[in-house]
Amino acid sequence: MRYMRLLVVFFKTSLQTDMEYRVDFFTRILASLLGLLTTLGGLSVVFTYTSNIHGWKLADMVVLLSIYYLMDGIIEMFIGPNMRQIMEQVRQGTLDFVLLKPISAQFLATTRQINIWRMANVLIGIGLSIFSVNRLSLSIGPVQAVAFAVTMAASVGIVYSFWLFLVTLTFWVVRIDNLEQIVAQAFEAGRYPIDIYPSWLRGGLTYVIPVVFMITVPARALAGRADGPQVLTSIIIAACAVTLSSWFWRFGLKNYTGASA
Amino acid sequence: MRYWVTVYRANLKIAIAQMLQYRFGILIWAVWGFVGPLISLAVWTSASVARGGGSIGAAGSGSYSRADFAAYFLTFMIVGHLTMSWDAFEFAFRVRDGNLSPKLLRPLHPIHSDVTFNIAFKLTTCVMILPAWVLLFVVLHPTPPHSLFSFLCGIPAVVMAGLIRYILQYSLAVIAFWTTRVEAINQLYFTLDAFLAGRIAPLSLLPGWMGLMAMYLPFRSMGAFPVELLLGRVPAEQILPGFIMQIAWLGAAVCVFRIMWRAGIKQYSAVGA
């Protein structure tokens, strides 16, 4: 209960700060729409020459793209700003103030701010997924809805843990913004179905940086193509990831001695 | 002339030293250059496989087999790296945080130190990613260039492409004097560039109206033209007109830049002053 109240407070203060930069929202939404136009235009050019790519039709690709935007928006809105702030604070030594507060350090450090205007991509993702589901004239039954909700939640859990893991590394190596770039590059590849990539890259996107469980599986669930084992696997991976990364964070904190101490 | 050689040599020394200090960081940035072309290649290869491995596009110099796609996008990857510029972001950032002001006080236009930085980045990263390029060429079996003459013509075309792109990017950057932010404008530039320079697909595979647009805008001169020339895909009678286009666009870009810079610098009053 106390944690819920805190979340509300965090949300309110973030909202107040971000309201000062309203123009940012329109810039973001314009830039995102242009980016979307590029991908969609590129796809429609490819699909004038073929009707499917490794079994993916244009409409399936648009479903995938909508999940890509949704996840990207969620990451940039909730996860990214907090994690980047932790990195910055480790470098400057101000993380100590976070650790002194009488609540879970992980909770405080990873939920305290929300970048409201990054909502642009979340909105685009939702809009695009509604559009594409209509285009596919999919009837979303309760089973599909549950499968989608579960895989989406698992996806958020996996992304969160992945970031937490990277951020915990900064306790030892201080600078990891380069690693962040590598993850961003892998995530970019998730814009398209991973079936188009050579097998070694598919392996990397499944086991090393699990982009498959972040984007592809939820997209399949929304299109009604995910089977039981896939949904189950993503739940198990998410559960393991959240537990492990949380343990790793606490282990890191124990070894953390402050920047200048 | 002597003066400029000294200036550029001194600047280049500083820039290379800085690049080597952050060698891992710049290497990661350079890897971004792989992502786009390789994704495009994967998409088109899959499309080609879906059609039973045949060529795509009208017969003749406009059609592409799997190996042709590999040649096109790998060459694009290298040309893209050699001609890239990122000054719009950098410049807008400087306008916002006030770092531009001390640079304006120097007796040298700030574009010169930025040019040397660009060159230093390419020199250092090329050495580092050369093995990766070679490996990709070995693994993907692209079609070799059709003619040596065309390939040799392609080299000055790449230099021209780099110049046009650099000056156009810098002109976009100057918009920050008025707006302090250039993300949306820059994204528009990237979107147009993705299609009309041939980044997403070879120009001959685009729908007709887009191909027509590409003929009348500067993007082809900064991308597809040098790439196709290197591969020997430009018909002989179109080589000279292609170069004339490049020279014309370079001239236009320089004029636009000078006009915008002069107007912008009058307008600039330093953020926070």
Cβ distance of A27 and B200 shorter than 8 Å: no
Cβ of B140 under 8 Å from any chain A Cβ?
no
Cβ distance of A196 and B24 shorter than 8 Å: no
Cβ of B28 under 8 Å from any chain A Cβ?
yes
In DSSP terms, B64 is beta-bridged to B56
Which residues on B lie below 8 Å from A191 (Cβ)? 39
Residue type, B205: L
Cβ of B216 under 8 Å from any chain A Cβ?
no
- d(CA A96, CA A109) in angstroms, rounded, equals 11
Cβ distance of B39 and A53 shorter than 8 Å: no
What phi and psi, each to the nearest 5 degrees, are found at residue B112? -70, -45
8 A C-beta contact, residue A50 and residue B201? no
- d(CA A24, CA A33) in angstroms, rounded, equals 14
- d(CA A220, CA A230) in angstroms, rounded, equals 10
pLDDT at residue A260 in the model: 56
Cβ of B54 under 8 Å from any chain A Cβ?
no
Report how far apart, in Å, the C-alpha atoms of B76 and of each of A123, A146, A188, B40 are: 34, 44, 19, 11
CA distance to partner chain B, nearest, from residue A86 (Å): 20
Cβ distance of A42 and B40 shorter than 8 Å: yes
Structure token pair of residue A104: 């879970």
Cβ distance of B46 and A31 shorter than 8 Å: no
Domain range list for chain B: 2-52+64-267
Cβ distance of B200 and A45 shorter than 8 Å: yes
Which residues on B lie below 8 Å from A30 (Cβ)? 184, 187
8 A C-beta contact, residue B86 and residue B94? no
- Tens-digit pLDDT profile for residues B199-249: 999 999 998 888 888 888 999 999 999 999 999 999 989 999 999 999 999
> If you average pLDDT over residues B37-50, what whole number do you get?
89
Cβ distance of B188 and A182 shorter than 8 Å: no
Which residues on A lie below 8 Å from B43 (Cβ)? 42, 46, 53, 192, 196
What phi and psi, each to the nearest 5 degrees, are found at residue A172? -100, -45
pLDDT at residue B168 in the model: 92
DSSP-assigned letters across all residues of chain A: -HHHHHHHHHHHHHHHHHGGGHHHHHHHHHHHHHHHHHHHHHHHHHTTT-S-BTTB-HHHHHHHHHHHHHHHHHIIIIIHHHHHHHHHHHHHTTHHHHHHSSS-HHHHHHHS---GGGHHHHHHHHHHHHHHHHHTT----HHHHHHHHHHHHHHHHHHHHHHHHHHHHHHHHS--HHHHHHHHHHHHHTTS-GGGS-HHHHHIIIIIS-HIIIIIHHHHHHTT---HHHHHHHHHHHHHHHHHHHHHHHHHHHH---S--
Nearest CA in chain B to A29: B184
pLDDT at residue B271 in the model: 62
Banded model confidence at residue B55, pLDDT cuts 50, 70, 90:
confident
Which residues on A lie below 8 Å from B25 (Cβ)? 177-178
pLDDT at residue B149 in the model: 92
Which residues on B lie below 8 Å from A198 (Cβ)? 42
In DSSP terms, B56 is beta-bridged to B64
- d(CA B63, CA B72) in angstroms, rounded, equals 11
Cβ of B191 under 8 Å from any chain A Cβ?
yes
CA distance to partner chain B, nearest, from residue A107 (Å): 30
DSSP-assigned letters across all residues of B71-131: HHHHHHHHHHHHH---HHHHHHHHHHHTTHHHHHHSSS-HHHHHHHHHHHHHHHHHHHHHH
Domain range list for chain A: 2-255
Count of Cβ atoms closer than 10 Å to residue A123 Cβ:
14
Cβ distance of A189 and B39 shorter than 8 Å: yes
In DSSP terms, A53 is beta-bridged to A56
Structure token pair of residue B210: 């887009």
| Burial (Cβ within 10 Å: 0-12, 13-18, ≥19) of residue B221 | buried
Q: How far apart are the first and last CA of chain B?
A: 37
- Which of A21-35, B26-40, B259-273 ranks highest by mean pLDDT? B26-40
Structure token pair of residue A91: 């470098």
Which residues on A lie below 8 Å from B31 (Cβ)? 181-182, 185
- Tens-digit pLDDT profile for residues B245-256: 999 999 999 999
pLDDT at residue A259 in the model: 59
Which residues on B lie below 8 Å from A35 (Cβ)? 187, 190-191
pLDDT tens-digit profile, chain A (261 residues): 778 888 888 888 888 877 777 777 777 788 888 888 888 998 999 998 888 888 888 888 899 999 999 999 999 888 888 888 888 888 777 888 888 888 788 888 888 888 887 788 899 999 999 888 887 777 777 888 889 999 999 999 999 999 898 888 888 876 667 777 888 888 888 888 888 888 888 888 888 888 888 999 999 888 887 788 889 999 999 999 999 999 999 998 888 876 554
Provide ipTM, 2 decimals: 0.81
Of the candidates A28, A38, A50, which has its C-beta nearest B51's C-beta? Answer: A50
Cβ of B50 under 8 Å from any chain A Cβ?
yes
Residue of B66, B179, B191, B196 best to disrupt the A interface, most CBs of A under 10 A:
B191
Burial B104-131 (b: 16+ CB within 10 A, else e): eeeeeebbebbbbbbbbbbebbeeebee
8 A C-beta contact, residue A67 and residue A159? no
pLDDT at residue B130 in the model: 92
